[in-house]
Amino acid sequence: MKVCIAEKPSVARDIAGVIGANQRRDGYFEGNGYQVTWTFGHFCTLKEPHDYTERWKAWRLEDLPMIPPSFGIKLIDNAGALKQFGVIESLVSQCEEVINCGDAGQEGELIQRWVLLKAKCNVPVKRLWISSLTEQAIREGFEKLKDSEIYNNLYAAGSARAIGDWLLGMNATRLFTKKFGQGKVVLSIGRVQTPTLALIVQRQKEINAFVSEEYWELKTIYRETEFTATIERLKSEEKAQKGLAYLLQHDFEITAFEKKEGREGNPKLFDLTSLQVEANKKYGYSAEETLKHTQNLYEKKFITYPRVDTTYLSEDIYPKVEGILRELTFYAEFTAPLLLKPIPKSKNVFDDKKVTDHHAIIPTGVLPNHVSQDEKRIYDLVARRFIAVFYPECKVSNTTILGKVGQVEFKATGKQILEPGWRALYANDKKENDAKKEEEEKVMPNFEVGERGPHEPRVHQGKTTPPKAYTEATLLRAMETAGKQVEDEEMRELLKDNGIGRPSTRANIIETLFKRRYIEKKKKNIVATQTGIDLIDTIENELLKSAELTGNWERKLRLIEKGDYSMETFKQELIQMVVDLTQEVKNNRGKAISVTADAPAEIMIEEKEKKPAKPRAPKEEINIESLTCPKCKSHLLKKGKTAYGCSNFQACGFKIPFEFLGKKLTDKHVFDLLSKGRTARIKGLQIPGNPEPIDAKLVMNGDFNFEVG
């Protein structure tokens, strides 16, 4: 018997249907020589400090740094997870081969390897590595199963990342909390979280310190075209008025006229970060929201694997492109011209050397149905971009005109679209067109060099503006390029290896900073709170808050993936850093950080316990619809007036009734079921067959049903 382990029940169901395992068992499917079971996310985690020694349960400076002799893993404390792991362990112990069907990425590899390690798997392991969940992709994947050993470096990189985050997060958080935390506040430090916060704080300080200055510019209109003086901005109105008086004494003369045809290259396909950036700009979606919608579309088979960091396709995708375009019937007006001739095979789209684990995000050709409005928008972004990369370039006319009035030189530029090319896909995009209209639709008349005549000079008064606050879009770009301001797409590609975090984790990092109230949102802008500013000011060690140095760690993790760097070397470097940091901070006399009004409950600790309190959502902050389905990780919705249910309910079937066993379930009950797998004791449950109500807990079992515990 061969045992397939998927990362979610919904994926297991899809795989089982393709390979003929059609008999439903308790916790798995069976048939045709296969047993298909599942995890639901992280079943295992690195051990906590107190799992190594009882002494590390308390938070004490003298116990730091905490360096375990070796790192171990443990099962998470969740009743449903424990039961399902028991199913996996039993199946693995009796099979002849395991097929790892986890998400085909670093995190998915780590999740599955840890489960197999904990289950003491000692049979051969194959790897299903696919970029979409369509029936065809699954079938082709099973025909080309890989040896698990091929992905050992990927697993090593995932392990190194987890251990690095443990070493720095556990030690630095305790270190700074006990040294500088005043009262009950926890000062949370993270390998990626802290340099990201430092970027926001630095921008915030630049904005706060900015002093606006007035300036004056000389402008003039000649033949209905506005020109601006090329001299430096004037610092006083008096000088501006003198300049205006001078201009009034002379005619305007054309000194140069140049009109060049140019081309605007096609946009790149989406990786996860660029999709999150575009969705934030266009629809105001947070990075986390975009990731959720994109993941849902992937699991519904409408797009390919989303957690990617490349904007290219592998060359073996090229033969499939025409078929995908033909299936995109919603976009027939745009695909029809492409299908009249061979699809171009450009190196800007197809390049094996620039594809890592997966290719860029593209449609699968399966048309979306039963999707939310948000998912429709994300799908539209992906589909239009996929079509746009195969269109001709946009042809433009760039005009530059130079002139002078006496000895003062002037300049005007204009841009006109001659052939829209790929821009035809966005002709009805009002937001995008409005932003570019002024620049692109500025059609200039023809001028002759040497012509001259009267003009209408004036003084324009303005004020200098502060640096712009980060939005989620610009923060994601800053994380991708380790804080460097980069507009060029090719340069951005080169910097990705040194970015902060991975595309799949950046959304979570930003949300963590919000949750800990180190940052907050004002309209679309992200600003640092006083607590966030105080924390960064307290950290003197540049390694902890430098985006560039953290980016260097990310580069080493990618080298581990490629087999070009040792996981053990990376671990020893971090251990040495933690040892040095601990000594440095213990000798530091920095100021204490006190609790501010915006510090949330989840970053508080009780001194008597001397350990961090478990996260607990205050009643007024519980939002059930912000939680995810434990069965398939889609988001939850109210299903009519009787229950909360999975947004992917038709495929998943998960729901929580508003009333159960005669008792109305509170938001806290639902929250506890989803986050802990069990509620607190509920009074007065009416059990069928019992004459008297009882007090008991509700527990989620391995089949995601509820029972009295």
| Active site residues per annotation | 305
Rg of the chain taking only CA atoms, in angstroms: 30
- Token pair of 496, please? 């990705």
- Token pair of 105, please? 């990425």
Give the span between the Cα atoms of 540 and 505, in whole angstroms: 26
48 φ/ψ angles, rounded to the nearest 5 degrees: -85, 165
613 φ/ψ angles, rounded to the nearest 5 degrees: -70, 145
Q: Is 105 helix (H, G, I), strand (E, B) or coil?
A: coil
C-alpha atoms less than 13 angstroms from C-alpha of 575 in its C-beta half-sphere: 14
DSSP-derived secondary structure letter, 589: -
- For helices 567-586 and 152-180, angle between their N-to-C axes, nearest 10 degrees: 0
* Burial class of residue 416, CB neighbours in 10 A (0-12, 13-18, 19+): middle
Query: Please, are residues 111 and 39 in contact by the beta-carbon 8 Å criterion?
Result: yes
Query: Please, are residues 636 and 647 in contact by the beta-carbon 8 Å criterion?
Result: yes
- Token pair of 130, please? 């696919």
Distances (CA, A) of 361 to 46, 92, 379: 31, 34, 10
Residues 6+ apart with CB under 8 A from 428: none
Q: How many CB atoms within 10 Å of residue 543? A: 17
Question: Which of 260, 487, 269, 257 is CA-nearest to residue 395?
Answer: 260
Question: What is the DSSP secondary-structure string of 611-646?
Answer: EEPPP---GGG--GGGSB-TTT-PBEEEETTTEEEE
Residues listed for the chain? 709
Pairing between β-strand 682-685 and β-strand 694-696 as defined by DSSP bridges: antiparallel
Can you list the alpha helix ranges (DSSP code H) found in 517-645? 530-538, 542-545, 547-562, 567-586
Query: Please, are residues 119 and 94 in contact by the beta-carbon 8 Å criterion?
Result: no
- Token pair of 561, please? 């993936």
Q: Is 338 helix (H, G, I), strand (E, B) or coil?
A: helix
Question: Which of 494, 466, 464 is CA-nearest to residue 480?
Answer: 494
- Token pair of 519, please? 């940052």
- For helices 135-143 and 9-19, angle between their N-to-C axes, nearest 10 degrees: 70
Query: Please, are residues 700 and 673 in contact by the beta-carbon 8 Å criterion?
Result: yes
∠ CA 636-637-640 to the nearest 5 degrees? 145
C-alpha atoms less than 13 angstroms from C-alpha of 692 in its C-beta half-sphere: 3
∠ CA 66-184-600 to the nearest 5 degrees? 105
Give the span between the Cα atoms of 690 and 221, in whole angstroms: 90
Amino acid in the structure at residue 558: R
517 torsion bin: left (phi>0), alpha (psi -120 to 50), beta (else): left
Give the E-state strand segments of 27-131 in sequence order. Answer: 28-31, 34-38, 44-46, 73-75, 97-101, 125-127
∠ CA 86-92-96 to the nearest 5 degrees? 165
